């Protein structure tokens, strides 16, 4: 068995050291490290007996559960590459991903039976549900009973650190999902840094909030296993009902929470921490979005002894590339930096000629170092467009804008494509969102831009949700923004939502919001105002 650090070795190491300690669980379904090791060995043997070769791709279409984790580790132990797929995806998208990745097998269970009527190609089905084979779908080549009949003995793998570990398919602008190829070394480097920085050890109990097809889950899984800690997979209901999130933290005695900020802002919006004392929570970590200052203040005031850390980094650079631990409760109007590079990473702010910007000057963010992934799966054109050679090293062009501060910390400004021209002015939509965060009546909100139908150019639009107990109207919000922004930056169309749409990762669905305003713009003049929504022109 190779000694090169690879992800599956983290589980094998803990199983040897502490086989009886719990490794991962959801509700009453808990696996120890010994059980996780044994079951993943069985699955690996089925894949190998089924003809899998090193580097073959295996789809994982299993609802978030200990069985899904067994599947992921088992695929890696077979020296293969796992391709996690959202079980809530439409069948057409599942098929596109399986076909694009040329998966040898797909592991499936639960509701996936409706998604696999025609996987296509030579993709075989391994059905991991104890209820048996799915009706009306592809006939399984292997079933759970076949897996359970295998030996639990260790499997020899031939994986190297620079081999791909998984392919994460993200949304593509053409409608075809783009597969980001992430290597073992990419993940191992971040996990080693994070375990050291956060002090993760075998006494920790961590959250598994993110879906398994989302890059944050990579740290949930392998950060936990590297430390020999326990991973508590978060049920779907925790995302739907804000009161359930703090109750889940208390019930599971979590010491670490890691998620997108939206989940935490939702709790703050409904004051769901009221009456809850999170005795065990030592650290709260977020990534993927800007954490609204008012929501961050809410959490920090109620958890004075916990550490709060902002991570930044796109999927193409492996989980996160920079960090900033907030030293004190921020003031209203403050902004939290995305900080300094993690060990082995580089975070650069450069101009259009790819030269470093001056302190305080806005530039585009580039990421270098060991976290930069292999590129997009079999997509040389898109890979070449954003994975660039510069100064003898490989950089990822993020498309984000940032500023280097005098303190050496980088601050996020917004997307490069979020800069618009409206009424003759160049405007950063992120700047308007910062102002929106300061409007007392607003719980959360998003700024979008759509093409106007007149000389003004892009039309600035605002979608927002009122704070609990407050009925914020578009007129009031527009007035408040008028006291914080120049007139040309104040949104011309504002809509109050019951709640903002979210995607499968828990992030606010900005595409859906923009499309809402595009429909309004297209129908302007014959607009039917939605319930509890209004427009101000």
Q: For residue 503, what are the contacts with CB-CB under 8 A and spacing of at least 6? A: 509, 512
Residue by residue, what is the 3-state secondary structure of 476-489? HHHHHHHCCCCHHH
CA nearest to 329, candidates 349, 356, 302:
302
What local confidence, expressed as pLDDT, does residue 454 receive? 44
Distance CA 153, CA 170 (A): 36
What local confidence, expressed as pLDDT, does residue 527 receive? 38
According to DSSP, the β-strands at 345-350 and 142-143 are unpaired
Per-residue pLDDT 10s for the chain (537 aa) are 334 489 999 999 999 999 999 999 999 999 999 999 999 999 999 999 999 999 999 999 999 999 999 999 999 999 999 999 988 887 878 888 999 999 999 999 988 877 886 655 579 999 999 876 655 557 889 999 999 999 999 999 999 999 999 999 986 544 467 899 999 999 999 999 999 999 999 999 999 999 999 999 999 999 999 999 999 999 988 988 889 999 999 999 999 999 988 889 889 988 999 888 999 999 999 998 889 899 999 999 999 999 999 999 999 999 999 999 999 999 988 999 999 999 999 999 999 999 999 999 999 999 999 999 999 999 999 999 999 999 999 999 999 999 999 999 999 988 777 767 675 566 778 889 888 988 999 999 999 998 764 445 688 999 999 998 888 999 999 999 988 887 878 999 999 999 999 887 778 898 899 999 999 888 764 433 333 333 333
- Alpha carbons within 13 angstroms on the beta-carbon side of residue 337 total 21
Beta-bridge partner residues of 108 = 61, 127
Distance CA 266, CA 260 (A): 11
- Which letter does DSSP use for residue 459 in this model? E
Sheet containing 322-325: order of strands: 29-32, 22-26, 230-233, 205-208, 256-259, 283-287, 307-312, 322-325, 340-341
Q: DSSP readout, 68-113? A: HHHHHHHHHHTT-EEEE--TTS-HHHHHHHHHHHT-SEEEE-GGGG
According to DSSP, the β-strands at 493-496 and 458-466 are parallel
Distance CA 369, CA 372 (A): 6
CA nearest to 165, candidates 82, 102, 47, 43:
82
Q: Which domains does the chain have, with CATH numbers?
A: 7-182 (3.40.50.980), 234-415 (3.40.50.12780), 423-522 (3.30.300.30)
């Amino acid at each position: 068995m190779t000694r090169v650090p690879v992800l599956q070795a983290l589980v094998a190491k803990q199983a040897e050291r502490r086989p009886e300690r719990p490794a991962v669980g959801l509700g009453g379904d808990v696996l120890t490290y010994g059980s996780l090791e044994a079951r993943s060995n069985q699955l690996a043997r089925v894949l190998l007996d089924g003809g899998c070769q090193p580097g073959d791709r295996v789809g994982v279409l299993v609802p978030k559960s200990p069985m899904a984790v067994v599947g992921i580790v088992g695929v890696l132990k077979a020296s293969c590459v796992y391709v996690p797929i959202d079980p809530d995806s439409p069948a057409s998208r599942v098929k596109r991903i399986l076909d694009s990745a040329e998966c040898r097998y797909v592991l499936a269970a639960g509701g996936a039976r409706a998604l696999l009527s025609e996987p296509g190609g030579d993709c075989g089905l391994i059905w991991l549900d104890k209820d048996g084979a799915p009706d009306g779908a592809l006939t399984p080549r292997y079933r759970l009973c076949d897996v359970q009949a295998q030996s639990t003995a260790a499997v020899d793998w031939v994986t190297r650190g620079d081999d791909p570990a998984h392919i994460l398919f993200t949304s593509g602008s053409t409608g075809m999902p783009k597969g980001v190829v992430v290597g073992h070394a990419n993940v191992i480097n971040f996990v080693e840094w994070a375990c050291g920085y956060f002090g993760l050890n075998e006494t920790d109990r961590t959250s598994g909030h993110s879906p398994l097809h989302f890059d944050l889950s990579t740290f949930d899984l392998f950060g936990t296993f590297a430390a020999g800690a326990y991973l508590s997979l978060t049920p779907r209901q925790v995302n739907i009902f804000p009161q359930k999130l703090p109750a889940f933290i208390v019930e599971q005695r979590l010491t670490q929470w890691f998620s997108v900020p939206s989940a935490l802002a939702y709790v703050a919006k409904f004051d769901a921490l009221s009456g809850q004392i999170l005795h065990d929570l030592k650290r709260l970590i977020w990534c993927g979005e800007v954490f609204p200052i008012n929501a961050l203040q809410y959490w920090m005031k109620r958890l004075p002894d916990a550490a709060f850390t902002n991570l930044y980094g796109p999927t193409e650079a492996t989980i996160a590339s920079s960090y900033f631990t907030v030293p004190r409760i921020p003031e209203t109007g403050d902004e939290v930096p995305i900080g300094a590079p993690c060990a082995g990473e580089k975070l650069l702010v450069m101009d259009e000629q790819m030269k470093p910007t001056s302190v305080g000057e806005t530039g585009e963010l580039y990421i270098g170092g060991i976290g930069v992934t292999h590129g997009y799966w079999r997509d040389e054109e898109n890979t070449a467009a954003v994975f660039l050679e510069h100064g003898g090293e490989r950089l990822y062009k993020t498309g984000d804008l940032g500023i280097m501060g005098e303190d050496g910390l980088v601050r996020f400004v917004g997307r490069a494509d979020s800069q618009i021209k409206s009424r003759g002015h160049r405007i950063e939509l992120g700047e308007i969102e910062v102002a929106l965060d300061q409007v007392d009546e607003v719980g959360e909100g998003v700024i979008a831009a759509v093409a106007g139908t007149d000389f003004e150019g892009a039309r600035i639009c605002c979608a927002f949700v009122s704070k609990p107990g407050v009925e914020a109207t578009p007129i009031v919000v527009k007035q408040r923004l008028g006291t914080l922004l120049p007139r040309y930056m104040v949104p011309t169309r504002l809509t109050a939502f019951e709640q903002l749409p979210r995607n499968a990762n828990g992030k606010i669905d900005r595409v859906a919001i923009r499309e809402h305003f595009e429909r309004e713009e297209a129908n302007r003049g014959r607009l039917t105002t939605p319930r509890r929504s209004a427009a101000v022109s």
